[in-house]
Amino acid sequence: AQSVTQLDSHVSVSEGTPVLLRCNYSSSYSPSLFWYVQHPNKGLQLLLKYTSAATLVKGINGFEAEFKKSETSFHLTKPSAHMSDAAEYFCVVSANAGKSTFGDGTTLTVKP
Amino acid sequence: GAVVSQHPSWVICKSGTSVKIECRSLDFQATTMFWYRQFPKQSLMLMATSNEGSKATYEQGVEKDKFLINHASLTLSTLTVTSAHPEDSSFYICSARASYEQYFGPGTRLTVT
- The model's pLDDT over A27-61, given as tens digits with 9 standing for 90+, comes to 877 888 999 999 987 888 999 999 877 889 999 99
- CA-nearest of B56, B64, B3 to B28 is B3
Q: How confident is residue A97, by pLDDT bands cut at 50, 70 and 90? A: low
Q: How confident is residue A62, by pLDDT bands cut at 50, 70 and 90? A: very high
Q: Do residue B43 and residue A102 have CB atoms under 8 angstroms apart?
A: yes
Give yes or no for a contact between B68 and B17, defined as CB atoms under 8 angstroms apart: no
Q: Do residue B43 and residue A103 have CB atoms under 8 angstroms apart?
A: yes
Chain A residues in contact with B49 (beta carbon < 8 A)? 97, 99
Q: What was the pLDDT predicted at B22?
A: 97
- pLDDT tens digits, residue range B29-71? 888 999 999 988 889 999 999 988 888 999 999 999 999 999 8
Q: Other C-beta atoms within 10 Å of B69: how many?
A: 24
Chain A residues in contact with B106 (beta carbon < 8 A)? 42-43
Question: Is the pLDDT assigned to residue A72 strictly greater than 80?
Answer: yes
Q: Is A43 within 8 Å of chain B by CB?
A: yes
CA distance B43 to chain A (A): 5
Chain B residues in contact with A46 (beta carbon < 8 A)? 104
CA distance A39 to chain B (A): 11
Q: Do residue B107 and residue A43 have CB atoms under 8 angstroms apart?
A: yes
Q: Is A105 within 8 Å of chain B by CB?
A: yes
- pLDDT tens digits, residue range B65-108? 999 999 888 999 999 999 999 999 999 999 998 776 788 899 99
Q: What was the pLDDT predicted at A96?
A: 57
Chain B residues in contact with A50 (beta carbon < 8 A)? none
Q: What was the pLDDT predicted at B1?
A: 65
Query: Mutate which of B44, B49, B62, B100 to test chain A, going by most A C-beta atoms within 10 A?
Result: B44
CA distance B96 to chain A (A): 10
First to last CA, chain B: 37
- Would you kindly state where each structural domain of chain A is located, as residue ranges? 2-111
User: For residue B8, is the peptide bond before it cis, meaning its omega torsion is within 30 degrees of 0?
Assistant: yes
Q: How many residues does this entry show for chain A?
A: 112
CA distance B41 to chain A (A): 9
Q: Is the CATH code 3.40.50.720 the one for domain A2-111?
A: no
Q: What was the pLDDT predicted at B17?
A: 97
For residue A47, what are the CA distances in angstroms to A38, A64, B79? 10, 8, 27
Chain A residues in contact with B42 (beta carbon < 8 A)? 104-105
Torsion of CA A105, A109, B3, B9, to 10 degrees: 90
Percent of chain A with pLDDT over 70: 98
Q: Kindly tell me the burial class for residue A94, based on how many C-beta atoms sit within 10 Å of its own C-beta (0-12, 13-18, 19 or more).
A: buried
What's the rounded mean pLDDT across residues B13-29? 95
